[in-house]
């Protein structure tokens, strides 16, 4: 395994796969109420601790709940 992550090696491969599978295709349903959830990108600035887990887990749980409820 490489010591440092080199995005140029792997990113192109996965972007092609994601585009082929249309994973980021959005379909709007005008019958559903819009829901906006602002979630920060993970950016631990130092040692990872439980505060990081809490902050990122809450948004993920809310998003999953909304998705499961069809929002």
Q: In angstroms, rounded to a whole number, what is the distance separating the alpha carbons of residues 64 and 71? A: 10
pTM of the model: 0.47
| C-beta atoms surrounding 55 within 10 Å | 13
pLDDT tens for the chain, 71 residues long, are 778 888 888 898 999 999 999 998 888 888 888 888 887 776 667 777 777 778 788 888 888 898 888 77
């Amino acid at each position: 395994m490489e010591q440092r992550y080199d995005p140029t090696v792997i990113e192109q491969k996965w972007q092609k796969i994601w585009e082929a599978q249309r994973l980021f295709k959005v379909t709007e349903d005008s019958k559903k109420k819009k829901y906006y959830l602002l979630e920060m990108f993970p950016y631990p600035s130092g040692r990872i601790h439980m505060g990081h887990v809490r902050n990122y887990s809450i948004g993920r749980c809310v998003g999953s709940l909304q998705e499961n409820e069809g929002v």
